[in-house]
Amino acid sequence: QVHLVQSGGEVKKPGASVKVSCETSGYTFTDYGISWVRQAPGQGLEWIGWINVYSGDTNFAQEFQDRVTLTTDTYTRTVYMELRSLGSDDTAVYFCARGEWELNYLDYWGQGTLVTVSS
């Protein structure tokens, strides 16, 4: 059974960075990529970017490409998202989700990680 389990909530100050993990199980890790999506309080879904777990290639939404990094650890089957230069508008729940390609539907999702940016 496919599972994506994310790290716990974080509280950060403006200007800081945050790194969220997504540990996967239940499928061949390198057969699928991982997208990251965020949801601000009471708002809709916003796609951040995607990583090809096999090659390490990444694609990002334009508004995030200068301050987000996606990495993988094949041995622990874990994907990481690091977001830098945090502002209050980065306060959101961050989800990882499985998607075969950068342009694809997302069939399994992590439980979400709340990142709060506050001084």
Partner 1 sequence: EIVMTQSPATLSVSPGGGATLSCRASQSVTTNLAWYQQKLGQAPRLLIYDASIRAPGIPPRFSGSGSGTEFTLTISTVESGDFAVYYCQQYSKWPPGITFGQGTRLEIK
* CA 95/CA 20 separation, integer angstroms: 9
Return residues touching partner 1 (CB under 8 A).
35, 37, 44-47, 49-50, 59-62, 95, 97, 102-112
How near is the Cβ of 49 to partner 1 at its closest, in Å?
8
Q: How many Cβ atoms are within 10 Å of 67's Cβ, its own excluded?
A: 14
Measured CA to CA in angstroms, residue 19 lies from 11, 28, 52, 68, 113 at distances of 11, 24, 18, 10, 10
Give CA–CA dist 5/46, Å, rounded.
20
**Distance (Å, whole) CA 111 – CA 59:** 22
Min CB(82)–partner 1 separation in Å:
19
Do residues 9 and 115 touch, judged by C-beta distance below 8 A? yes
Comparison of 4 and 18: residue with beta carbon closer to partner 1: 4
- Comparing CB distances to partner 1, the nearer of 74 and 107 is 107
Least separation in angstroms between CB 73 and partner 1: 22
Nearer to partner 1, 92 or 106 (CB): 106
Q: Quick one: 44 or 87, whose CB is closer to partner 1? A: 44
Q: How far is the CB of 39 from partner 1 (least distance, A)?
A: 9
